[in-house]
Amino acid sequence: MAIKQEDCIVIKSAKGKKNSTNIYSHNCSGELSKFLDRKNYSQHFILVDDNTVNLCLPVLLKGIQELQDATVIEIFSGEAFKNIDTVQQVWEQLTEYHADRRSVLINLVGGMGCDLGGFAAATYKRGIDFIHLPTTLLSQADAAYGGKQGIDFSNYKNQIGVFKDPAAIFVNPEFLKTLPAEQILNGFAEVVKHSLLDGGKFWKKIYLIENLSSVNWKKIVQQSCEFKLSVVKADPYEKGLRKILNFGHTIGHAIETHLLKNNVDVLHGYCVAAGMIGELHLSHKLCGMPEKKMRKGASYITNHFPNVNVTENFFAELLTLMKQDKKNRDGQIQFALLKDIGMPMINVAADEETILKALHFIEECYNVEKSL
């Protein structure tokens, strides 16, 4: 499929500043070429995965003189490879090809690859520049922004990582045309999350979406990333407000970790969707979210996302996994919840009995009718 370079979004993160400047361009390759020319890096390395190496790399290389001699580093896609072994492969190739501190790593990958590539670059020789060129809806609407770079460790999500902004982020919505439907849905979960947190017109716009194949993703991606960046600008190191972005992820990460440990291939967004259902229930019970709105949100999610088979027989393990969540304090499982749509709350503690009721609510909503 031919991918155009037109109508790209360019998002630059100014080093040393808490805010990011959004620049919307109609010539993505030209903007990237000018950026690389201005930086005058000693070497260019391009991180790709087993999908983007064929679908996206040729587009990137076309017409960008600065990248004709770039070294390509290929990794496997998928959460199962978001680990120290894959990072070591990247480090080894950077070392083999004599990358120095004036080199740059260009991450032409999805969300997992952006996290991992950013971490590899931020730690190699105590840090080299990296650029995100996100290729999936998940990464374009969410994962590429905010400066969190990291990997999974010992069967726990994102346990090792750093806060480090990329030198720049270039977003080409045309790359989304290479994605299968399930990958669009995977990223849509984070869009839904942002809309529930933001409320107002954003939530109303998302709620009216029925058929994802007819969506103008450029506008949705722009609105989603602008919302996230506004939160990150106010709290870059997740000391307070930024914690709202964890909505759906305490339960969602536990589900994802459980399934991956049991060799079930599952997409991050599907787990976050299930997590949001459970955390909508917690929002109703602990924060006073109106039941009607809780059920409206849960119904919207179940109508769009497949069941990841959350069943009572592994609730105990989910609780154990949640106890390892980074947001916890004083031995209590902490959540980011909603008092109402568009009214998030942070540091909300929940006891095990209340969490179990939320897990049962997920099972009830899906009614074990949809399955992966």
- Where are the domains positioned within the chain? 8-178, 181-366
Averaged pLDDT for residues 186-209: 98
Averaged pLDDT for residues 7-25: 46
Instruction: Give yes or no for residue 45 having a pLDDT over 70.
Output: yes
The Cα–Cα gap between 218 and 132 comes to 17
Q: In DSSP terms, which residues pair with 13 in a beta bridge?
A: 20
More confident residue, 24 or 245: 245
Q: How confident is the model at residue 156 (pLDDT cuts 50, 70, 90)?
A: confident
More confident residue, 263 or 17: 263
Calculate the average pLDDT of the chain. 91
Averaged pLDDT for residues 118-132: 98
- With contact defined as beta carbons under 8 Å apart, do 47 and 19 qualify? no
Instruction: Give yes or no for residue 5 having a pLDDT over 60.
Output: no
Q: Which helix (DSSP H) or strand (DSSP E) does residue 129 occupy? A: strand 129-132
Sequence-ordered alpha helix ranges (H) in 4-148: 28-39, 52-55, 57-61, 84-96, 111-123, 137-138
Domain 8-178, second-level architecture: 3-Layer(aba) Sandwich (3.40)
Tell me how many degrees the CA angle 91-96-98 measures, rounded to the nearest 5. Answer: 95
Query: pLDDT at position 9, please?
Result: 58
In this structure, the strands spanning 8-13 and 20-25 are antiparallel
The Cα–Cα gap between 59 and 44 comes to 16
Instruction: Give the percent of the chain with pLDDT over 70.
Output: 91
Sign of CA dihedral 223, 229, 232, 233: negative
Instruction: Give the percent of the chain with pLDDT over 90.
Output: 78
Query: pLDDT at position 66, please?
Result: 92
Query: pLDDT at position 205, please?
Result: 97
Instruction: Give yes or no for residue 6 having a pLDDT over 50.
Output: no
Instruction: Give yes or no for residue 95 having a pLDDT over 90.
Output: yes
Instruction: Give yes or no for residue 12 having a pLDDT over 70.
Output: no
Instruction: Give yes or no for residue 165 having a pLDDT over 80.
Output: yes
Instruction: Give yes or no for residue 62 having a pLDDT over 60.
Output: yes
Instruction: Give yes or no for residue 24 having a pLDDT over 60.
Output: no
- Tell me how far CA of residue 256 lies from CA of 116, 181, 233, 309, 327, in angstroms: 18, 20, 28, 11, 17
Q: Check: CATH 1.20.1090.10 for 181-366?
A: yes
Query: For residue 340, what are the contacts with CB-CB under 8 A and spacing of at least 6?
Result: 199, 289, 290, 293
Q: How confident is the model at residue 14 (pLDDT cuts 50, 70, 90)?
A: very low
Structure tokens at 233: 């600008």
- Tell me how far CA of residue 123 lies from CA of 29, 106, 155, 262, in angstroms: 28, 15, 21, 30
Query: pLDDT at position 8, please?
Result: 56
Q: Is the pTM of this model over 0.85?
A: yes
Query: pLDDT at position 330, please?
Result: 86
CA 131, distance to chain mean position in Å, is: 16
Instruction: Give yes or no for residue 372 having a pLDDT over 80.
Output: no
Sequence-ordered alpha helix ranges (H) in 237-367: 249-261, 268-287, 291-304, 315-322, 352-366
CA atoms within 13 A on the CB side of 365: 31
Query: pLDDT at position 11, please?
Result: 56
DSSP state of 65: G
Instruction: Give yes or no for residue 120 having a pLDDT over 80.
Output: yes
How many residues in the chain?
A: 372
- For 333-368, the pLDDT digits (tens) are 999 999 999 999 999 999 999 999 999 999 999 984
Averaged pLDDT for residues 173-185: 93
- For 244-264, the pLDDT digits (tens) are 999 999 999 999 999 999 999
Instruction: Give yes or no for residue 236 having a pLDDT over 60.
Output: yes
Look at 44-53, 69-78, 174-183 and tell me which has the smallest mean pLDDT.
174-183
CA atoms within 13 A on the CB side of 111: 21
The Cα–Cα gap between 55 and 52 comes to 5
